[in-house]
Structure 1
C-alpha cells in the first residue's frame, strides 16, 4: 500500500503534517532519551526529483548535524533515491514522525489518515502486514 504521495490540496493530510511538525520536539526528546519500550524512531521526509514529490520514511537519524542525515527506510518510487541510501534533509522537509513504543505506533499522523481512508478489506490486510499495532485498530 503506497501512501507516500497525495494531493497538495488534501486538507486532512495537510493537517496531519502540521500536527507532526508541531509535535516534532516530542520526537527529538524521545529520540535523545528513549523511554523503556521505545524503539524504531522514524521521520517522514519530503523529497523532490525531476518535478516528482514523495514522502519517504527515514531511519538512523543523526540530528547532531546540519543538514540532518538519515537512511532511507522504504523503497522510493521517485528517481535519484534508493532504499538504504544515506540522505541529508532540512527540518522543514519533515512531514511526519513515528516511534514504535511497546509494539504500538506513536505519531504516524499521515499514516493514520491514509489508513482511515482504506476499505475495510484493504485496512485489515495492511494492518496484518505491519510488525506493530496502530492505535484505534487493534
Structure 2
C-alpha cells in the first residue's frame, strides 16, 4: 500500500485532482498543486468519456494478474461546494465486480472523503483510470490532456520528475 501511495503522490505533481467550474490552480504547501478545469472543457470532458468507455480494459488488466502491470488507480468524481472534485483512488482491488481502493489525494473542495479512506468506487462517477504496463502509462486520459497542453520542455520535465513514460 505505501509503495502505491508514494507513486500516486509523485505522479500527481501536475494533476492531483480537478474541480469543475473554474480554471485556476490551487497551490498547497507540501502537497501537489491542483489544476482546476472548466466543466465545459471539451478535451477534458472527452478524456473522461474515453476513460468510462474503456473501463473494461482496466478491469481486464487488473484481473489478469500480469506481473508487468502495477499501480492501478481510478479517478472518481465527488460532490463539492459549487461543483465537483475528481480524486485519485489507489491500491485498486476488484471485489464482487466492484472496485475498492484507498483515497490517494488530500481533497481540497469535497468533504465526502479524506486521504487514506478505503472506499468502494462509484462506477457512475469514474472520470479516469490508469496503470503501468512495464513502466509505461496505460490510460491516464485526463493526465494526458494536461500534459499535452505543456511545451515539449515542460513535458520532459514532468515525465522526468514523475517517472512517467507515455505510449
Q: Describe the shift of the 1:15–1:23 C-alpha distance in structure 2 as closer, same or farther (beyond 3 A).
A: same
Deviation at 1:52, TM superposition (A): 4.1
Partner of 2:162: 130
Cα distance 1:10–1:120, how it changes in 2: closer, same or farther (>3 A)?
same
Give the stretch that moved more between structures: 2-11 or 111-120: 2-11
Query: Segments of 4+ in structure 1 off by > 4 A?
Result: 65-68
Offset of residue 127 of structure 1: 1.4
What 5-or-longer segments of structure 2 have no aligned partner? 1-13, 19-36
- Structure 1 equivalent of residue 50 of structure 2: 19
Work out whether residues 87 and 105 of structure 2, in 8 Å CA contact, stay in contact via their aligned partners in 1: yes
Unaligned runs of 5+ in 1: none
Counterpart CA distance in 2 for 1:51 and 1:67 is 28
Q: Aligned partners of 1:83, 1:3: CA distance in 2, in Å?
A: 12
1:90-105 matched pairs, under 5 angstroms? 90-105=122-137
Once the two structures are overlaid, the 10-residue window that deviates more, 71-80 or 60-69, is 60-69
| 1:4-55 deviations in Å (ceiling 9; x for gaps) | 2211111111111111111101101111113231111111111112334211
Please tell me whether the aligned partners of residues 3 and 114 of structure 1 are also in contact (alpha carbons under 8 angstroms): no
TM-score (ref. length: structure 1): 0.84
How many pairs are equivalent?
135
